[in-house]
């Protein structure tokens, strides 16, 4: 499970396709505030590449760029907000939101955290490292993730939940540099973003199946909120 919580199962992933497009559109709009041209805006380039890889319709992508960049009459503004706290059984959680109305999102988060514990700013952030997170898969047979990590300048790498995928961890400032370098070392980048990696992940084996189910249920409810972009959790693989 690592640093970023994700719903399990192909059916859930398929059902969430529309939600994925919605999240990517928000990220594109926020990134486009730094400029509408991906060639001169690395943050926008990374999320546009991710959107294309999941086959986001071209008109949806272009409309999101225009909205974020303030081009035309449909300009929108999203605020980046992070909520910190604990899932059941003291599993630390950081919830990253993009919202056009904090007065709506904040009470919704308070309700969702009732089965856990909503903390104040910094209450669990100390137990996470702010990092670049790159998900990639081998483009050639026999590609060595550890060797690729060293050659591309990543700090570390870890096998993902899905067969064949690897998460490469980078310094936040080197996310774009490493994502550009990985293809030359045998890996196709699937996504690249900034996120949070737990310093002291909880071993799932220390939780009973019932407790683990409670944690999963809590995280699924958080992730289902329309304003939630990413959920980072201190639960090991």
Across the range 36-49, mean pLDDT stands at 88
Burial of 86 (0-12, 13-18, 19+ CB in 10 A): buried
Model confidence pLDDT, tens digit, residues 96-105: 999 989 999 9
Q: Residues of the chain with pLDDT > 90: what percent?
A: 60
Model confidence pLDDT, tens digit, residues 90-127: 999 999 999 989 999 999 999 999 999 999 999 999 99
- Residue pair 74/81 in contact by the 8 Å Cβ criterion: no
pTM value is: 0.82
What's the pLDDT score for residue 34?
85
What's the pLDDT score for residue 10?
46
Which of residues 201 and 4 earns the better pLDDT score? 201
What's the pLDDT score for residue 69?
87
Neighbours of 203 (CB within 10 A): 9
Is the pLDDT confidence value at 77 over 90? no
Model confidence pLDDT, tens digit, residues 227-236: 999 999 998 8
Model confidence pLDDT, tens digit, residues 48-59: 988 988 889 999
CATH C-level class of 6-79+126-225: alpha beta
Model confidence pLDDT, tens digit, residues 132-174: 999 999 988 888 999 999 999 999 998 876 567 899 999 999 9
Across the range 192-201, mean pLDDT stands at 92
Token output for 152 = 């591309």
What's the pLDDT score for residue 16?
64
Is the pLDDT confidence value at 6 over 80? no
- Residue pair 7/16 in contact by the 8 Å Cβ criterion: yes
Q: How far is CA 195 from CA 60, 125, 141, 164, 170, in A?
A: 25, 11, 29, 21, 10
- All structural domains of the chain with their residue ranges: 6-79+126-225
């Amino acid at each position: 499970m690592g640093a970023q919580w994700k719903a399990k199962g192909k059916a859930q992933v398929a059902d969430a396709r529309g939600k994925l497009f919605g999240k990517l559109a928000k990220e594109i709009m926020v990134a486009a505030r730094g400029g509408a041209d991906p060639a001169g805006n690395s943050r926008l380039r990374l999320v546009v590449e991710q959107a294309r890889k999941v086959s986001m319709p071209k008109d949806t992508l272009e409309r999101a760029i225009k909205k974020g960049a303030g081009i035309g009459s449909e300009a929108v503004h999203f605020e980046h907000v992070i909520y910190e706290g604990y899932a059941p059984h003291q599993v630390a959680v950081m919830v990253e939101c993009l919202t056009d109305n904090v007065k709506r999102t904040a009470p919704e988060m308070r309700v969702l955290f009732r089965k856990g514990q909503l903390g104040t700013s910094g209450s669990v952030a100390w137990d996470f490292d702010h990092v670049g997170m790159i998900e990639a898969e081998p483009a050639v047979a026999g590609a060595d993730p550890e060797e690729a990590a060293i050659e591309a300048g990543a700090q570390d790498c870890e096998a993902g939940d899905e067969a064949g995928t690897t998460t490469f961890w980078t310094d936040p400032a080197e996310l774009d540099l490493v994502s550009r370098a990985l293809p030359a070392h045998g890996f196709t980048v699937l996504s690249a973003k900034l996120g949070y990696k737990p310093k002291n992940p909880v071993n799932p084996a220390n939780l009973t199946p019932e407790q683990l189910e409670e944690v999963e249920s809590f995280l699924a409810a958080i992730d289902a909120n329309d304003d939630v972009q990413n959920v980072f959790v201190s639960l090991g693989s």
